[in-house]
Chain A
Amino acid sequence: MVLAAGDYAREVCKRPAWIRGIDHRIEAQYPGARDLTKSSSTAIAAEKAGVGKGGVDVAEVYAPFTHQELIVLDALKLPAGAEVNPSGGALAAHPIMSAGLIRMGEVASRIHAGEARRGVAHATSGPCLQQNLVCVLEGA
């Protein structure tokens, strides 16, 4: 991915995908110290990144196991109507260290193509969703 600021982004890209909010939070490592049915770090990151400040057309979440998608979506509090993982998500392709960036790229590509106006990308690391990142991307 290539990131650029302000006017330069407008000059080189017809429809840039703007990062409106991005936040990254970590939890305790020991799974016994957490409620594994919830993702508190995703919830904090979603709030700080401003997921709820507008409609969401598309969300790409990094869930290498199906139950994790349910837990993450719960924490993101996506408004109704958001399309989730149109790419097939991490269940379809999972190069671990790229899988989070792929989520951002997938959302940005849909904004570039004019198929989505506002989208959410999510990435995770560590055992049982220990660390989570949420990014809100918008078209012009």
Chain B
Amino acid sequence: MSNACAIVGIGQTKYDTKRIDVSLAGLVREAAVRALEDAGLTFRDIDAVVLGKAPDTFEGVMMPELYLADALGALGKPMMRVHTAGSVGGSTAIVVASLIQAGIHERVLTVAFEKQSESNAMWALSPRIPLQPTVVFGAGGYFAPLIRAYIRRSGAPENTGVLVALKDRQNANRNPFAHLQMPGVTYDDIANSPMLWDPIRYHETCPSSDGAVAMVMTTESLAKKAPTRPAWVHATAMRSEPTAFAGRDQVNPQAGKDCAKALYAQAGITDPMAQIDVAEIYVPFSWFEPMWLENLGITPENEGWKPVQEGATALGGKLPINCSGGVLSSNPIGASGMIRFAEAAMQVRGQAGEHQVDGAKIALGHAYGGGSQFFSMWIVGSEKP
């Protein structure tokens, strides 16, 4: 029904605590230029620019697309900004895919970024919303009780989170762009790190990062002329639900389950564990890996911790997850979702270097945001669907 869409260029910045060497404009341009070089294109070849980022309060620059239009070569072109909290990087990529699939544009540049060092995310995430308690305890404080509920519900061994963190930190050592590099990291380093929000320990937590990621997406005929192997979009899905309603299951949200179901139906996936070669999923706290494995329907309920304990989600396992080191190792919030989508595309392009899964043909990119309420996902493949 719709036209094919391919990813032909990907660019990432080095993620770091403070990128004081660049402004916001310099940061997004760094990723954009790298994506264009990868695609063998220049700003002149681009029809439209789509920007994604999380709340403006993270940098204190309102409607940053207005300021960034010049740096992203958008003058005289269509430019749009997308915002769906932490899932925004994913939903931005899906907006771009739909622009290509609908035949509106032929080559679109998309960039997602966050420069967390410009502000204080804890303050930025604590707005006063009428009739709701103010979140004054940060994302870790918000999600810790949900993890505790998951452990009680599933009977997961208490060290499951440590195993995820160890794997992701070891993976990050293979990814030159990853923010946190911990050469020689051990199980004990993670298990003995200070408790921040019970049961989340320091090394089971994502950092605050500065960084940007960019992609160039295009049509079938132009993808065939690209200098490198494209990744093809096989399926996209987004679902949302409110932050609070009676009976809401925040451990395993309905919106996430519905989103995965719609995604697999589109991609013709009936057994995700067997059919997906590699996945990049949004895991800001280690325990979210087993939780999302269940929400994504990859394992039955209360069994997401089993593949983690068996090592099935490590590089070389049955379904390697977050080979890049994941959100746990680099978290420029507004970019984090698109980094997942881009890393999935890099895997099926055979472009992931030291953290490549050999022969990966089908990859899942996943992002979530808000109070586990916005979900965006895509399946990309090495062959045209």
* Interfacial residues, chain A to chain B (CB-CB below 8 A): 23-30, 40-41, 44, 125-127, 130-131
Contacts and interface: CB of A to CB of B under 8 A. Distances in A.
A126 B66 contact: yes
Would you list the 6 A-B pairs with minimal beta carbon distance, nearest first? A26-B79, A126-B66, A26-B69, A24-B78, A26-B74, A29-B66
Given A27-B69, A131-B69, 16 more contacts: A24-B78, A24-B80, A25-B76, A25-B77, A25-B79, A26-B66, A26-B75, A26-B79, A28-B70, A29-B66, A29-B67, A29-B69, A29-B70, A30-B70, A40-B76, A126-B66
B222 interface: no
Contacts of A125: 63, 66
B79 A28 contact: no
Interface in B70-91: 70, 74-80
A91 to B, nearest CB: 22
Interface in B6-54: none
A26 B63 contact: no
Contacts of A40: 76
Nearest to A40: B76
Contacts of A23: 78
Contacts of A26: 65-66, 69, 74-79
Given A125-B63, A126-B63, A131 B70 contact: no
Nearest to A30: B70
Contacts of A130: 66, 69
Interface residues of B, number: 13
Contact of A41 (B70, B76, B80): B76
A74 B370 CA distance: 43
A28 B65 CA distance: 11
A28 B69 contact: yes
A44 B76 contact: yes
Contacts of A27: 69, 75-76
Nearest to B78: A24
15 contacts: A24-B79, A25-B76, A25-B78, A25-B79, A26-B74, A26-B75, A26-B76, A26-B78, A27-B75, A30-B70, A44-B76, A125-B63, A131-B66, A131-B69, A131-B79
Contacts of B74: 26
A29 B67 CA distance: 6
Nearest to B79: A26
Q: Which of A125, A127, A130, A131 has the most CB of B within 10 A?
A: A131
Contacts of B66: 26, 29, 125-127, 130-131
Query: Which of B66, B67, B80 has the largest number of chain A CB atoms within 10 A?
Result: B66
A102 to B, nearest CB: 19
Contacts of B69: 26-29, 130-131
A23 B104 CA distance: 10
A133 to B, nearest CB: 9
- Of residues B65, B69, B74, B78, which shows the largest number of chain A Cβ atoms within 10 Å of its Cβ? B78
Nearest to B48: A24
Nearest to A127: B66
Contacts of B80: 24
B78 to A, nearest CB: 5
Nearest to B71: A29
Contacts of A44: 76
Nearest to B69: A26
Nearest to A23: B78
B72 to A, nearest CB: 10
A3 to B, nearest CB: 13
Nearest to B72: A26
Nearest to A133: B78
Contacts of B65: 26
A40 B75 CA distance: 10
B48 to A, nearest CB: 9
A30 B67 CA distance: 8
Contacts of A28: 69-70, 75
Nearest to B80: A24
A89 to B, nearest CB: 22
A72 B249 CA distance: 50
A25 B67 CA distance: 14
Nearest to A126: B66
B99 to A, nearest CB: 11
Contacts of A25: 76-79
A126 B76 CA distance: 14
A41 B69 CA distance: 13
Contacts of B70: 28-30
A44 B69 CA distance: 16
Q: Which of A26, A27, A30, A131 gathers the greatest number of chain B CB atoms within 10 Å? A: A26
A28 B25 CA distance: 13
Contacts of A24: 78-80
Contacts of B75: 26-28
